[in-house]
Amino acid sequence: MTASTKDRTPGPVKARKSAAQNTAPDSATTDAVGASSRREPDVRFRMRVIQHETVALGPGKVTLLEAVRDHGSISAAARSLNMSYRRAWLLMDELNRALESPATVSEHGGQSGGGSTLTAVGEEIIRLYRGIEARAAAACAPEIAALTKLVKG
């Protein structure tokens, strides 16, 4: 799960943190663990929609859609994700070709410099995908808690 969904993550499932955030446990983790140095394992659900042997939709493409929404262009989204523009453009092109209607629309050049915005389909993909992640985490919370107790801290 991404940091943007951290607040919506139910139960004992911890959201993935950035490398900077992983350097020290947060106060909630420290309080729950007490004197122990145990860190909670990172739990992620990675649903993919496969179409003709290609990942039509998965966690990377959803994260890229969120970055396009947040930054207003594929180029800025790619930079924010430490990804090349070419890679980001190819992923968006692959996604748009797999859909009945495109997830993004691009404006080329001009005084405003162009950019990309999400369509209603793109927004719906993010909403549905993140909702599925949250519901899966909630439905599996007891098993996830039991499973993570078996992992070294």
- The enclosing domain of 64 has a CATH number of 1.10.10.10
8 belongs to a structural domain = no
Average pLDDT, the chain: 80
pLDDT digits (tens, 9 = 90+) for 41-62: 888 888 999 998 989 999 999 9
Residue 117 domain boundaries: 49-106+113-130
Rounded mean pLDDT of 65-89?
A: 97
Rounded mean pLDDT of 111-131?
A: 91
Radius of gyration of the chain (CA): 18
17 belongs to a structural domain = no
SS3 state at 129: helix
- Look at the chain and report how many structural domains it folds into: 1
Confidence check: pLDDT of 134 > 50: yes
The pTM of the full predicted model, rounded to 2 decimals, is 0.70
Q: Which pLDDT value is given to residue 39?
A: 75
Query: Looking at 14-18, 115-119, 149-153, which range is the least confident one?
Result: 14-18
Confidence check: pLDDT of 24 > 90: no
21 belongs to a structural domain = no
Residue 27: its H or E element: helix 27-33
CA angle at residue 34 from 29 to 38, to 5 degrees? 60
Rounded mean pLDDT of 24-34?
A: 43
101 belongs to a structural domain = yes
Rounded to whole angstroms, how far apart are CA atoms 132 and 85? 28
